[in-house]
Amino acid sequence: MNQWTRHQRVGAGYVADDVQIGLLWTVTVDFGVTRQNFADRLDIRRLTLGEFTNHIYP
């Protein structure tokens, strides 16, 4: 998990209760967000989640 998180700009991983794993995701919308920007964030989230899953369960 540390190896994954160390190399990520977004999507830090964590271990909860020594059993469950998770992926933290933060999106800032303080100054508004366009429909295209929101769609782009979701696409990046989808790609990151896939890479995370492949890293944890090769």
What DSSP letter does each residue of 3-58 carry, written as one string? HHHHT-SS--EEEETTTEEEE------TT---HHHHHHHHHHHHHHHHHHHHHH--
Say if residue 2's pLDDT is above 80: no
Quote the pLDDT of residue 16.
81
Quote the pLDDT of residue 44.
87
Say if residue 3's pLDDT is above 80: no
The larger pLDDT score, comparing residue 1 to residue 50, is at 50
Q: Tokens at residue 13, please? A: 């991983």
Answer yes or no: pTM beyond 0.75.
no
H or E stretch including 2?
helix 2-6
> Could you read off the pLDDT of 10-24 as tens digits, one per residue?
777 878 877 788 777
